[in-house]
């Protein structure tokens, strides 16, 4: 092989190696952010739908061979599962803010909790299942938000992006980033979040012990 041919071969191998490295970096970033491919989204939604039918209609449990699942569905994650019926909330559950089990297992767990254990609603009936839409929100790890007072807190929240965890002496409550669509004003958002935990609507202004954490989600639905 001529020197020109050898150089061309080396250049080709370098290009292939560079492309493989770039693809690996993209995949790592996607998994770190909680993002799933369209095929992975469809698969986990199918599993969630099968679990919903199982617990409400007595269908057989979906057969899951973990070794055959994509790695993105087996990494530890925390997931909100939201059930809506004809566009109206029918159940929404998160069992833990911290990742503690494989994503697909957490989805299956929280589908069941959303359908049977949301204290705001009665358990989902078999006749409702076909009218229910499943939405999954994969959380990143919550992080504390430092602020010097109510006005500073409001200035640091990013509507449409930040999920917010509010902890007060009354309890703990959270809103997903999607809730900003219904409560776009930060003051209204925080007041409603206080009321969600049974606290006065102005506790985010007056309670000196409050703690705020924020998180982001990757969400998708049927």
Look-up: residue for tokens 């041919």?
5
Is the separation of the CB atoms in 212 and 153 below 8 Å?
yes
159 pLDDT higher than 80: yes
Q: Is 27 left (phi over 0), alpha (psi -120 to 50) or beta?
A: alpha
23 pLDDT higher than 60: no
> Which residues, in sequence order, are CB contacts of 88 under 8 Å at separation 6+?
none
The proportion of the chain whose per-residue pLDDT surpasses 70, expressed as a percent, equals: 85
State the average pLDDT over residues 172-182: 96
Structure confidence by residue, pLDDT tens digits, 25-74: 334 444 444 589 999 999 999 999 999 999 999 888 778 989 999 999 99
pLDDT at 54: 95
Q: How are beta strands 143-144 and 211-215 bridged, if at all?
A: antiparallel
3-state secondary structure of 133: strand
The CA distances from residue 145 to 161, 162, 164, 202, 220, in Å, are 14, 11, 9, 19, 26
pLDDT at 22: 34
State the average pLDDT over residues 158-187: 96
Tokens of 75: 């990494």
Tokens of 79: 């997931």
């Amino acid at each position: 092989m001529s020197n020109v041919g050898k150089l061309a071969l080396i250049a080709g191998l370098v290009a292939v190696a560079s492309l493989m490295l770039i693809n690996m970096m993209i995949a790592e970033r996607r998994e770190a952010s909680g993002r799933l491919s369209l095929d992975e989204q469809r698969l986990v939604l199918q599993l969630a739908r099968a679990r919903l039918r199982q617990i409400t209609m007595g269908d057989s449990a979906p057969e899951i061979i973990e070794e055959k699942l994509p790695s993105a569905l087996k990494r530890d994650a925390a997931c909100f599962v939201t059930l809506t019926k004809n566009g109206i909330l029918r159940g929404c559950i998160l069992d833990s803010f911290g990742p503690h089990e494989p994503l697909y297992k957490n989805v299956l767990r929280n589908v069941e909790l959303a359908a049977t254990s949301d204290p705001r609603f009665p358990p989902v009936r078999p006749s409702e299942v076909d009218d229910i839409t499943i939405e999954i929100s994969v959380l990143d790890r919550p992080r504390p938000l430092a602020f010097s007072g109510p006005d500073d807190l409001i200035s640091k929240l990013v509507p449409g992006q930040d999920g917010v965890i509010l902890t007060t002496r009354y309890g703990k409550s959270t809103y997903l980033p999607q809730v900003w669509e219904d409560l776009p004003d930060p003051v209204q958002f925080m007041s409603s979040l206080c009321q969600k935990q049974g606290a006065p609507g102005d506790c985010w202004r007056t309670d000196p012990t409050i703690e705020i954490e924020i998180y982001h989600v990757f969400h998708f639905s049927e």
